[in-house]
Chain A
């Protein structure tokens, strides 16, 4: 089990470095002042990673992925889902709602008590908006939904 893991990683990395090296073929310019051009550095990196990954295949180290319960994997996937959901809804719902929603969902993955989680997430979202958008002058999206609602009234 254990030695195989590094071998697989090594093979993947070797493939990656070959692809990374081959991709440089497209990067040509006739630049007089720049004798090695935009290719040379990436090629050096590709060769270096290729060599080290071959070493890893030949000389793997002991290692073992943790064996996790199915529910743990599900929670991890759900967490990633939350991150993507945030990216998808941020511009539409606006910062305050999207943050409150996604942080609430995350607290549920971490088994927080429902009512307190909702309240805490909403307060968190409002405080962060006040702090970062108000005090610290970051521009955070108001949200198309909110803008439409404000536009109607």
Chain B
């Protein structure tokens, strides 16, 4: 009952005209960046961070916008996957197995419709779960001290390193590189400048917006040049975007399984929506596919990953909002933005800022309904965006990236940094180093270091303090478990098969 009252308060926040507009803008931008190959929600959010600062948006409004982009992208990402077999984001790679097969059989319409319905189903179920579980976890997390937080952040980083790439060693190096970038600039405790080489522009540190856009947008543009083909015709004839009642009911249990598994995978730090689709599809194939339909263009093969990636995206808000520890590149960006708005998510966040949390939850219900409308009757409109010629689309992406990077500090120097990070990002892509851990490391670095130093300050320099409470010991055990996970993941990925690229962004 208490939840219901709080939710109603949340709707009062979410239904304010500005917030409704931002929710709509968020899900619209999310659908578009999710759909366009090479641009993901991470870029969409990074580009808008300077805007939210310039407009002085209240925290609730900014969070409604950013989360809209994140879960909106989970709807949009299947559009290009289904139509042209080019995943909009890695989280829809699995959807392509059956989705593109359906398109080749002339059933693109039902595939798109199923994707929208399953996304809505997964999205809505997981908002309910988020609403019920987040306050509980927050209450439990109140007892976390700096030692526990330090361990928890190590856990988030090792989880992401374990799960994000085929090479654990390389993912670990990416993570440490991100942490190293975070040490550039004034030390927040002693005010000693570190790794600035006397350059005053580096004193404030590496801005994560500049780094993210360099790593994700700029390096992507350079990489696309490798196999750039000028003319790429997209068949935008999708037919009627509808599913029958029978198709819906036959996929219902698949969607429920997708939403539940997806949500819990999403809650785990490091796992995120891409991994959720792998795990869900593998489960579906292993235990619920006696006839061997999956992989041949079965509509269930679309329902399963699409319910899962939406549920996972919402699940990922749990560690972000209740612990202040994001588990993926995208949620790391959202954390960075919230810190910039002077909001520190953590166990007290829901209690102290109920209007932000409940406003967000209410906006997610509304946003999912908006997305259902955008992705069912209006999907034909979005498909036309895929027809925008690449020769214009990519330069335009570069142009928008410039605006955001310049706007961070009104500095041309940041544009040069962006280019340098673009080159580093390209080199990392080519040598098999995943990029998302760099962003997570960069955002978590300062929090990790300050918690470590606070803990050692409490113990007057005794390092054993880090493992002195049962809770922190438990988390360190989880860290060890997470280090063993790559071996499990390799087996799951083998089961899904025919899936090519590593999930770089989730």
Contact = CB atoms under 8 A, between A and B. Distances in A.
Nearest to A108: B391
Nearest to A27: B192
Contacts of B172: 48, 52
Contacts of A140: 403, 406-407
B461 interface: yes
A65 interface: yes
B180 A35 contact: no
Interface in A48-96: 48-49, 52-53, 55-56, 59, 61, 63, 65-66, 68, 72, 75-76, 79-80, 82-84, 86-88, 90-91, 95
A28 B410 CA distance: 33
Nearest to A59: B169
A143 interface: no
A37 interface: yes
Interface string B71-82: 000000000000
Contacts of B403: 95, 128, 132, 138, 140
Interface in A20-46: 20, 23-24, 27-29, 31, 33-38, 40-42, 45
A97 to B, nearest CB: 13
Given A9-B431, A110-B390, A139-B407, A103 B396 contact: yes
A120 interface: yes
Interface stretch (B93-101, B125-133, B416-424, B482-490): B416-424
A45 to B, nearest CB: 5
Interface residues of B, number: 61
Contacts of B239: none
B interface, over-half SS: helix
Contacts of A137: 51, 54-55
A138 B456 contact: no
Contacts of B402: 86, 90, 99, 102
Contacts of A141: 410
B115 interface: no
17 contacts: A20-B180, A34-B453, A35-B460, A37-B190, A38-B187, A42-B183, A61-B170, A68-B226, A76-B225, A83-B415, A87-B415, A110-B391, A111-B230, A112-B395, A125-B399, A140-B407, A141-B410
Given A80-B419, A136-B51, 6 more contacts: A28-B192, A42-B183, A66-B226, A107-B392, A112-B392, A137-B51
Interface of A: 5-6, 9, 13, 20, 23-24, 27-29, 31, 33-38, 40-42, 45, 48-49, 52-53, 55-56, 59, 61, 63, 65-66, 68, 72, 75-76, 79-80, 82-84, 86-88, 90-91, 95, 99, 102-104, 106-107, 109-113, 117, 120-121, 124-125, 128, 132, 136-141
